[in-house]
Structure 1
Amino acid sequence: MRKLLLSILFTLLTSAGWSQGIPFIRNYTATEYGGHNQNFDIMTGKDGTVYVANFEGLLYYDNADWHMLHTPGITRITTLFRDSKGTIWTGGYNYIGYLKVTDNGCPTLHSIDKKKSFHGEVQWIWEREGKIYFLVSDKGIYTIVNDNVTRATGAQLPQSGPSTFIGEAHVNQCQELGTSGLKALATDGEGVVFQYSNGEEIFRITEANGLCSNNVRYITYNGHGLIWGATDNGIFCIGFPSIYTHLTAKEGVHGEVLSLQRYQKDLYAGTQNGLFRMQGKTFVRVPEISYACWQLSKQGDALLAATADGTYRINAKRQVVHLTTGNTLSLLVEKDGFYSGETDGIYYNSNNGQRKKISDIEKVVKILRDKQQNIWIENLYGHIWKTTDGHHFQEIKNSKEEEMATLVEYRGEVSVVPSTAVKPFPYSSFSYADKDDNLWLTNNKGKMLYAMKDGNREESLSEATYPLMDYAVRAMIHENQLLWMGGDKGVNIVDLKHVDPIKQGKPTLAIRSIYLHGGDSILWGGYGEMPEKLPTLSSVDRHITFTFATDQPSILLPTQYRTRMDNGSWSTWDNDTREEYPNLASGHHVFEVQARDAYGRLTEVVSIDFSIEWPVYMRWYMQILYIFILVLLVYSLIRFRLYKLERDKRHLENLVQERTAQVVRLEKMATVGKLTQGLIDRILNPLNYINNFAKLSEGLVKDVAANIEDEKDNMEPDNYEDTIDVLDMLKGNLEKVGEHGANTTRTLKAMEEMLKDRSGGQVSMNLTNLLQQDKEMLENYYANEIATYHIQIVFELPDHELTINGNPEMLSKTMMSMLGNAVYAIVKKAQREQYEPTILLKVTEEEQAITITIRDNGIGIEETILEKVFDPFFTTKTTGEAAGVGLYLSREIIQNHNGDITVTSEKDKYTEFIITLPIA
C-alpha cells in the first residue's frame, strides 16, 4: 500500500511539472543534412554526436555540421548499435561494419564482411557476452569474431518486449528519458507519444504540432533534454523533458499575444486576432470577441476585455456582454466602474451603465493608480500625465523635449522611466510586478526578460528566462512557480519547480574539424584525443577553417561562440560554428575558442597550436642573401649615383655651351633679321624703280616702233627691219625685267611677312562665326571659278558657339589661304577633265579640342614632296603664281594657338588638312 501511495504521489508531482505546454521542436530536412528523406535508426554518442541510419549511408551531426559516410557499395544503412566499449556498429543492405577513427580524428566506416558471408539487409545488431551478433533479413543470425563474419548456429534473439499499439499506431520503440520517470514512444502514424512511468499519456507530438512526419522509426535521448528522432521524411529534435514549453498557432493561439489573465481557473489570452481560452493543451476562440484584445482585467467576479471593438465583460458562466464600442487600449478597474483609455480620450464607465469622458488624451495604453490614489496615464507616444482628483491631468515632461517615457508600477508606487534612463533600471517596453514582489522587465525592444527585487537583480529567475531572450514579451503571468509569457510567437511557459536537464550538466566544448581551403585536406576530424599541436603546414597552406561545438546544444537559444587568434582580441559572440582564416601569415599560431550556452554559462577555452612554414624566400639563409644583395644594391646605387652626377655635370656643361651658342645664334639671327628687314627695304625701293622704269620703257618702245612705222617709207628696208628687230628684242628684254622684278618683289614681301610677330592678339572668340564669314568670303572672292567649274562648297558647322582663345585675323587668314589652295587644285584638275569638284570644311568637337578638316578632290600632292609642303619657299605652283610661304605661315599661326596641322593626300584624288585647336 505504501508503494502504491508513493507511486501515485510521484505521478502527481511529475504531472504537475511536465505538462503545461508543447515542447519546442526543430526539424531537419534532407536539404539541410545532405541526405535522403528516409531514415531508419538514430542514436547519440557520449560526446553529443547524433548518428542516423540514412537511405544513402551513415549520417552524423557533430552539432556544428552534418556529414555523410558511404558504405563501399553506397548502400543504405538501416540499423545502429553502440556496444559496451562505445563502438558504433552499422548495418545495412549486404553490409556490416563499425565506425573507426583515423589518426587525424576522422570517422570512417570500416567494413567487416569482405568475403560476403551473408546476403540481405541487416535488421538488428546486439551484444551478448562481449560478442556482436546481428540478424539478417533472411532470418539468419551471424556473429563477428576477429573481424570475420560467421553464422551463429543456435543463437537466440534477445528479448525485445511485447509489441504494443497506441490506438491503431504501432509502437516502434520506447525510450526512457533519463531519471525523470518519463518515457517517449516512437509510433507509426501517431508521431511521438510521451507518457509517465505508469503509462499515463502526457501529450503526443504529431505533424499538427509541426513534427516533420507522424511515422517515427526510432528515437534517442541525449541525456540533456533533447530527443532526436528518425522518420521517413527527415529528422527532428524535441526539447523534452524541459522546463520550457510553448503554445503557438498550431495549438490555437492565432496572432500576437497582447494580454494574459487567469479567470475562474481558465487562462485567457488576448491576441491581435481576438480572445482565446485555454482548454487542455490548446486554445479555443471566444467567438464573441474577434478583434485585437489589448488588456484583460478582473473586476469582482467578472473579466473585462479591452478590445479594438470596445470593452467586453465575461462572467463566470463564460457569457460575454458588449459594454462599449470605442477602440479601447487600456483599463483601470475601480469598485463602482472602470476607466477606459480609448482612441479619442479617457472615459469613466460606471457599473450602472453611465459613461463620462474625463479627458481628451488620445490613445492611452496605460492607466495606473498608485497607493496615494493618484492616477497615471501613458499614451502610445510615450507621453505621461498625472491627476490627483481624477479630472485634471497634468503632463509630466522630461528634461529633454520629445523624449519618450514609460510607467512602471511596483509595490503601489508608479515610476516614470525615460528612454535614456539607466538607474534604477533601463527603459523597459514591458513591465510586470508579480505577487511575490518580483518586478519583471525587458529591454526597449521587449526582449531579454529579467527580474528585480528590492532594487537588485534576481539572478535565479533571470537565469531561468535567459534562454528565451530572443522572444518579445507583451504579456505575463507568474503563478504557482509557472511563468506564462505572451508575445509575437504565442505563449511561452517556464516551469520554475524543476531544474532544466541542460542546466544539470556543464557543456564541453570541442573543436570538431580543422581543414584547409576547400575541405579536401582535413587536418583534424574532431574525434578521438585532439593533439596539442597540428603538424607543420606548408607555406602555401594559409587558408584554414575551424569548426567547433559543444556536446549539449539547446533547441531554444543557440550556443554562442567567440574566437581569437594569437592572443588577439576576442570576436563578438555569435551563433556561427565556423571560423575561417583566409590568409594567415607564416610562423607559429594559437587558435582559441570559447562557448556560451543557453544559460549564459561559459565553457573552458579550447585551443590548438599550429605552425606554417616560412616560404623559401623568407628563410634565414635567404635573409642573409637579401642583406648581401641589399648591400650590393646600395653600393651599386651609390656608384650609379656618382656616375649619374658626373654625367649630369658633363651634360649641364654641354647644355650651357649649347645654350650659349644658341643665344649667340639667336642674337645673330635677330641681327640678320634686322639686316634682312633693312635689306628688303633697301632692295624694294630701287626694285620698284626698276619695275616702273621697265614698264615705262615698254611704252616708249611701243611709241618708237609706231614712229618708225610712220617713217617706213623714208627708210631703207634693211634699216627698217634691223630697227624693228632691235625694238622687238628690247621689248622682250623689258618684259623679262618686269616679270622677274615682280617675282623678286613677291619674294621679298613674303620674306617681310615671315619676319612679322604673330604670337599676340589672342582673345576669346566664336570659331563658328569666323568660319561662316570665311565661307561667305570664299564664295564672293572665287565666284567666277565656282560658277565656271561648278564647285560645291560644303561647310559642316555646329549649330552652337565654339569658343576658343585666338587671333581672329590670323585664323581667318589661315583658313582663306588653305581654302584658296583648294580652289587652285580643283581648277587645275577641272581644266583637264570633267568631274564633280567639291571643297569640304568639317568641324568636329571633342572633349578638349576642336578638329577642323579641309578636304578637296583636286589634283592632290605627290607622295615624294608631301613632307615638304610646310617648308618655307616650297611650292607646287610656278614662281609667278606663289612665293611658297603660305602653308609655312599657316602652320606657324596654328602652332601659336597651341594647335597642330597635318596633311594627307593622294595624287589626282584628294588633299586633306586636319587642324586641331584647343577649347577655351
Structure 2
Amino acid sequence: MKFIKCFFIIIIPFFSYNSLCQVKEIGMPNIKNYKRNEYKGGTQNWGVDQDKNGTIYFANNSGLIQFDGSTWKTYSMPNNESLKSLKLDSLGNIFVGGNNEFGYFKPDNKGELKYFSVSKMVSKKDNQNLNLIWKIHIFNGEVIFQSFAKAFFYKNNSLRVLNAPKKFQFSFVVNNRLFFQDKVLGILEYKDNKLFPLKGTIFLNDKEIWGILPFKNNSLLLATLEEGLFLYDFNKVIPWKTDANDFIKKNTSLGGSIINNKFIILNSVLNGVVICDLNGKIIQHLNRQKGLQNNTILTSFIDNKNNLWLGLDNGIAFVNESSPFTYFGFGYNISTVYASVLYEGNLYVATNQGLFYHAWNDNFKEDVFKLVEGTTAQSWNVQVVDNELICANNRGALLIKQGKVAQVIDSRKGYFGFEKIPNHPQFFIGSNYDGFAVFQRTSGGFEFKYQVNGFNRSSRSFEFDQSYLWLKAGQSLYRMTLSEDLKSFSEIKEIHQLNNRFKKTGSIQKIGGRVYFQANNHFYKYSTEQEIFYEDKKLTALFKNIPNINELKEDSQSNLWYTYGESLGVLMKENNTYRKIDAAFSNLTGNLVNGYLSVNTINTKNIFIGLTDGLAHFDSKLLNGFVTKPKAFIRSFSFLDNTYIVNSNNQNKINNIAIPYSSNHVRFTFSSPTYENLENVQFSYQLQNFEEKWSNWSIISIKEYTNLREGDYVMKVKVRDSYGVQSEPSMLSFTISPPWYRHIIAYLGYLLIVCGCIYVVSNRIKLKIRKNKYYETIEQRRLYLEREAKIRYEQHKLEKEIEKLKSDKLQIKILAKDKELVNNSLQVVKKNKTLNSIISKLKEIDTSILDESTKTEFNKLHKSIVKEVNTDKSWKDLEKHIKNVHFDFLKRLKERYPTISPRELDLSTYLLMNMSTKEIAEIMNISNGGVELARYRLRKKLGLNKKENLIGFLMSI
C-alpha cells in the first residue's frame, strides 16, 4: 500500500496509548518489508528487541543490526560470528549470543557500541561444549545465556554455570518463571539455583518446543515444531484443538509471542504468521501472498506501540497492527475503487475492472473478492435504489442479485449513478454519458423508459431537491425541472455564480435531506420562494478552520466526510456536535480516487474507503490513542574525526562539549522511533545562535554546518510523523572555542602587547623629541652655514659674472678692434693697390725725355713707392691676428670636418666676422664669383642644404 505525506496538522486530544490493543479481523494491516540490501546485513534474523528510546535491534547472521527509524547500522562480532539470540537490559546493555561466543554490546563515552566478551570468562572445561547460544534471558537480576549443554548465569562481572541434566532444547521466561526443556526430563523449572521437573511434561520429550506463552487461568501454551499446540495447566499436557493448532501442524511452528495477553502470534516455517485470539480463532494470516517477502518467520516481537516486527529467513518485516486501518489490495483482486455498498450479506465494490463482491460473514483473511460476471468494465457506482442493487457500469445500468447480473436495464450507454425522482415513487433517473435517462419499476423488474430530452451533458454530481434537479457540470451549476411526463426538461437554467462573493460552485451535496451548495467552504441552500441562495451559517462555521474542500458526503451515521487537496477528513457526529478528524487519514493522502469520494459507513466499526489501489477498512472505535506524539532524537554529533552517538547514557556528557575552532565543521543525524510510514516522517531543525528560524520540513535526517564562529550553540530538532503530529524539540548544546588568536588569553596578550607598544612608542617619541631638538640645533647651524656658503657662492658667482661681463665687454671691444683692424688693413690694401697702380703708371712714363734732375727725382719717387709697398706687412699681421682671435672656432671646425682646407678655414672665419662678399674677395684677392663658388663648396662640405643658413650654422659651432 502506497502512502503519501499529510499536508495539514490536526489538533485533536492525545490519549495514552490504548493498552487493549485490537487486532482487526477485516483486511490486512500495512506491511513494510526491509530487504537485506536496505539493512546491509545477512539474510536470517533470529532475534528482535527494543531499547527504552524505541530503537530496534536484530540478531542477524552478520552480527547486531540497529535501526533507529532513520538509519541502519551493523556491529560485527569477533570472527564475524552470526547471532542467534538477543536481549536488552534496562541499562542499555545489549546481550548477544552466537556460536561459541556470547557477551554484550555497551556504548562507550562517545556512544559507539563496543563489544565485551563474557565467554572469555568460561573455563576451559566448560568451554568445550559451548556450542550455539540460542536463548538469552534476564531473570532475577541475572543474565542467562543458554546453549544445548549449559546455561551461563552472568551478574556483576562474574559467571556461574548450570549444566543440562541431559540436553537442553530451549528455555523460556513466562510470568517471571524460568523454564528449560530437557530432551529426557521434559520441562524443568529453575528455582533456588536448581532445576525441578514439571509434572506430565515428559510426554513432550520427542517434540521440540519453540515457544511457551502465558495463557488463561495461569496455564501455558506450548508451541512445538511439528506436533502443533498444547495447553499445560502444570498437571497435564493436552492438545489445543483449534484453527490455530491445525495451521501450525500443517505449516510447522517456530514459536511466537503474545500481544497484551489478548492475541497470540504464531510463527510458521511454511506459511507466514497467524494472529489468533485466546480461543484459537485465526484473526489475521500474513504470508507472501498477503504482502510478506518471505514465508519463514524465525522470530516475532511486539514493540512499545504494539506493532509487530518479524525476523524472516530472508529479511525483516514491520506490521502496523496498532492502526485502525486495514486494507484490501491486489491480494484480494481489488484495484481502483469508486464505490462500495453492503447488500443482502455481500460487500460489493465498484472498481475500474468491474463489480466485485465478498460475503460479509465469511472469513476475509483467506478469500478474495469475486467478480460479478458480466460487469467486466469500468464500474462507476453501485447503489441501493428502491431496495434493489444497481451497478452504474460502462456497459450500462445493471441490476445485481446474489452476486450476479439479474437484469441489464439499459445497455445503450454507460452510467454514473442513479436517484429516485420525488413525487414519482415508481420512477428513478440515471446520469449517463449523454445526459439523463428515466427508469420505471414494474412488476417484472426495472424498465428503461426514455432518454430525457433537452440536456445532453454528462455528470455524476447531481441531486434532487424539492421539484428541481441540480447538476454541477464543469464550472457551472444547472437548475432543471422535469416535465410532467418526465420525457424532457421543461426548464433549464445555468447559474454561473451563487452570489457576488463566489463565482464558482465547489460541490453540491445532500445533508440531512437538503441539498447544499458549497463554495470556498461556505454552504448555501436555495429558497424556492425567493429564488435566491442563502448561507447556512451553522454549517459554514463547522468548516471555518478546514482547508477548502473538494467534495463532501454525509454517511449513514450523519458523519460529514470531505476531501481537500488529495487528503481526507471527517467531522464525526457526537451528541449533536462534531469532532474533526483528519490526521488519522493522512496516510491515505494521495491514494484517494480524485473526484470520487467513496466512503461506505456500515457502522462505527466498519467504514470502507475507496482508494486508487484497493479498499481501506477503518474502525473508528480504535481511533483513541492511535495518533500519539512522536519523539525526536539527535542520533549522532560529529566534528573532525570525532563522532558521538547520543543516547541516554552519555547525553549529559555530550551536552556542553567544547569543540576546538579547527573543528568548526559539525554534522548531526536525527532519528525518530516512529516506524509507521517512515517515508512520510519529516524533520525540522534549528541551530540557535546561527539560525533565526526553523528549517522547512524534510525527510532528510542529516545536517551539516561549516565554518561556525566561536560561541555557544544549541541544536534543536523536532519530528513530524506521517499523521502530521509534531514532537517536542530535542536539544543538544555545544561550544566552539575561539581560535588562539581570538581567545581571551590572546586578548590579554594583545592588551599587554599594546601597553608595551605604547610604552616603547612613548619612550621612542621622547627620545625622538630630544634627538629632534639636537638635530634641530645642528640643522639650524647647518642652515646657517649653508646660507653663509650660499652667500659666499652667490658673491663669487656675482664676481664671476662681473668678470664674465668684463671679459665679454673686452671681447666685444676686441671684436670691434678686430673689425677696425680689418678695415684699416683693407684701407692699407687699397692704398697698396693704388700705389701699385701708380707704380705701373710710372713705369709707363718715358724717363728719357726727362732731365737728369727730374729723372733722379722720378727714380727716387719710384723707389720710395716700391719700398713702401714691399715693406708693408699689414695683411700678414691681419691674417695672424684673425687666426689668433678665432683659434678655438677654427679648432672645433677642423675637428668636426677634418677634410676642410686652410683656404676654407679662412673663408669660414671671414663669414663668421660677417664680412661682405666684396670684402672677402678683396682680402682673398679673388673675384666675387670666386667667393660665391667658394661658399658653395664650403656648404657642400659642411653637409648643408639650400634652406640652411651658412653663417648661422658657423656661429652655432
Same fold (TM over 0.5): yes
Q: Which amino acid aligns with 1:449?
A: G
Cα shift at 1:556:
7.9
The one of 450, 467, 477 equivalent to 2:600 is 477
In structure 2, the partner of 1:609 is: 733
Cα gap change, 1:288 to 1:374, in 2 (>3 Å): same
The whole-number CA distance in structure 1 between the counterparts of 2:429 and 2:96 is: 69
Q: Whose radius of gyration is greater, 1 or 2? A: 2
**How many angstroms apart in 1 are the aligned matches of 2:419 and 2:623?**
37
Aligned pairs, how many?
Answer: 627
The equivalent position to 1:440 in structure 2, one of 557, 561, 565, is: 561
Contiguous gaps of at least 5 residues in structure 2? 1-19, 172-178, 181-211, 213-221, 229-247, 442-446, 484-488, 524-539, 762-932, 948-957
Instruction: Report what 1:330 is aligned to.
Output: 417
- Verify: 1:172 aligned to 2:254, yes or no: yes
Do the aligned residues in 2 keep the contact of 1:182 with 1:194 (CA within 8 Å)? Answer: yes
Q: Residue 37 of structure 2 aligns to a residue in which SS? A: helix
Letter of the aligned partner of 1:525 in structure 2? V
How far does residue 317 in structure 1 lie from its aligned partner after superposition? 6.2
| Partner residue, 2:954 | none
Partner of 2:683: 561
Paired residue type of 1:512 = R
Note the 1:150-169 alignment, pairs <5 A: 151-154=161-164, 158-159=179-180, 160=212, 161-163=222-224, 165=228, 166-169=248-251
Instruction: Give the superposition deviation at 1:153.
Output: 3.0
Q: Partner of 2:136 in structure 1? A: 125
Q: What is the SS of the residue equivalent to 1:448?
A: strand
The answer to whether the 8 Å contact 2:132/2:147 transfers is yes
Counterpart code for 1:571: S
Give the C-alpha shift of residue 369 in structure 1. Answer: 1.3
Alpha-carbon distance, 1:453 to partner? 5.8
Is 1:301–1:315's contact at 8 Å kept on the other side of the alignment? no
8 Å contact from structure 1 (residues 259, 476) kept in 2: yes
Quickly say closer, same or farther: Cα 1:569–1:122, change in 2 above 3 A. same
Cα drift, residue 26 of structure 1:
0.5
Whether contact under 8 Å (1:175, 1:183) holds in the other structure is yes
CA contact (8 A) 1:536 1:610 kept: yes
Distance in 2 separating the partners of 1:598 and 1:436:
27
Change (3 A) 1:229 1:452: closer
Partner of residue 516, structure 1: 639
Tell me, yes or no, if structure 1 residue 367 matches structure 2 residue 373. no
* Shift in Å, 1:455: 14
Aligned to 1:384: 477
SS of the equivalent of 1:465 reads: helix
Q: What letter is aligned with 1:393?
A: I
Partners of 1:556 and 1:373 lie apart in 2 by 52
Q: Which residue identity does 1:136 align to in structure 2?
A: S
Counterpart position of 2:353: 273
Describe the superposition over 1:91-118 as per-residue Cα deviations: whole angstroms up to 9, x where unpaired: 0122101121222333332211236735
**Which letter maps to 1:387?**
M
Label 1:84 to 1:47 Cα distance change in 2 as closer, same or farther (>3 A). closer
The aligned counterpart of 2:452 is 357
Matches within 5 A, 1:731-880: none
Q: Which of 376, 391, 414 is the matching residue for 1:290?
A: 376
2:77 to 71, 88, 91: 71
1:323–1:239 Cα change, 3 Å: same
What CA distance in whole angstroms lies between the structure 2 residues aligned with 1:293 and 1:468? 22
Matches within 5 A, 1:661-680: none
Residue type of the alignment partner of 1:188? V
Tell me which residue corresponds to 1:308.
394
Q: Which residue of 1 aligns with 2:571?
A: 451
Q: Give SS of 2:115's match.
A: strand
Distance 1:125 1:389 in 2: 78
Partner in structure 2 of residue 486 of structure 1: 610
1:258 to 338, 349, 353: 338
Structure 2 residue aligned with 1:548, among 652, 670, 673? 670
**Cα shift at 1:83:** 5.2
RMSD over equivalenced CA pairs, Å: 3.8
Whether the 8 Å CA contact 2:95–2:104 is kept in 1: the answer is yes
- Distance (whole Å) between structure 1 residues aligned to residue 548 and residue 161 of structure 2: 73
Compute the displacement of 1:470 (Å).
4.9
More deviation, 238-247/147-156: 147-156
Tell me how far apart the structure 2 counterparts of residues 545 and 15 of structure 1 sit (CA, whole Å).
39
Q: Specify the alignment match of 2:714 in structure 1.
A: 590
| Percent of aligned pairs sharing the same letter | 22
Distance in structure 1 (CA, Å) of the matches to 2:713 and 2:54: 29
Contact 1:40 1:53 in 2 (8 A): yes
Say whether residues 1:416 and 2:416 are aligned partners.
no
Q: CA deviation at 1:23?
A: 0.7
Partner Cα separation in structure 1 for residue 393 and residue 706 of structure 2: 57
| 8 Å contact kept, 2:50–2:88 | no
Question: Could you give the per-residue CA deviations for residues 684-739 of structure 1, whole angstroms, max 9, x where no partner exists?
Answer: xxxxxxxxxxxxxxxxxxxxxxxxxxxxxxxxxxxxxxxxxxxxxxxxx9xx99xx
Secondary structure at the aligned position of 2:80 is classed as coil
Equivalent residue number for residue 80 of structure 1: 86
The CA distance in 2 between the partners of 1:512 and 1:456, in whole Å, is 47
Q: Is the 8 A contact 1:37 1:232 kept in 2?
A: yes
Deviations 1:121-154 (A, max 9, x none): 22222355544333335x3444446546564335
Q: Does the residue aligned with 1:114 lie in a helix, a strand or coil?
A: helix
Distance in 2 separating the partners of 1:605 and 1:58: 29
Cα distance in 2, alignment partners of residues 129 and 451 from structure 1? 51
Distance 1:420 1:461 in 2: 17
Residues 77 and 597 (structure 1 numbering): CA distance in 2 closer, same or farther, change over 3 Å? Answer: same
Give me the whole-angstrom Cα distance separating, in 2, the residues matched to 1:617 and 1:489.
Answer: 64
Q: Using the alignment, how far apart are the partners of 1:50 and 1:579 within structure 2?
A: 23
The 1-side partners of 2:555 and 2:706 are apart by 53
1:275 and 1:43 mapped to 2: Cα distance?
45
SS in 1 for 2:331: helix
Once the two structures are superposed, what CA deviation does each residue of 1:813-851 show, in whole Å capped at 9, x if it has no partner? xxxxxxxxxxxxxxxxxxxxxxxxxxxxxxxxxxxxxxx
Find the counterpart in structure 2 of residue 397 from structure 1: 496
Query: 1:779-817, CA deviations, whole angstroms, 9 ceiling, x for partnerless residues?
Result: xxxxxxxxxxxxxxxxxxxxxxxxxxxxxxxxxxxxxxx
**In 2: Cα distance, 1:301 partner to 1:69 partner:** 64
Q: Deviations over 1:177-209 (max 9, x none)?
A: 125x11211111111101001111112100101
**Closer, same or farther in 2 for the Cα pair 1:170/1:17, shift >3 Å?**
closer
Distance in 2 between residues matched to 1:126 and 1:401, nearest whole Å: 68
Q: Do the aligned residues in 2 keep the contact of 1:243 with 1:500 (CA within 8 Å)? A: no
Q: 1:562·1:571 contact (CA, 8 Å) conserved in 2?
A: yes
Corresponding letter in the other structure for 1:210: G
SS in 2 for 1:319: strand
After superposition, the Cα gap between the structure-2 partners of 1:74 and 1:26, relative to the gap in structure 1 and judged at 3 Å, is same
Q: Deviations over 1:35-91 (max 9, x none)?
A: 122222212223212110111110011223211111122211111134577643100
Structure 1 position 558, deviation (Å):
4.2
Instruction: Please name the residue that 1:727 is paired with.
Output: none
Contact 1:442 1:449 in 2 (8 A): yes
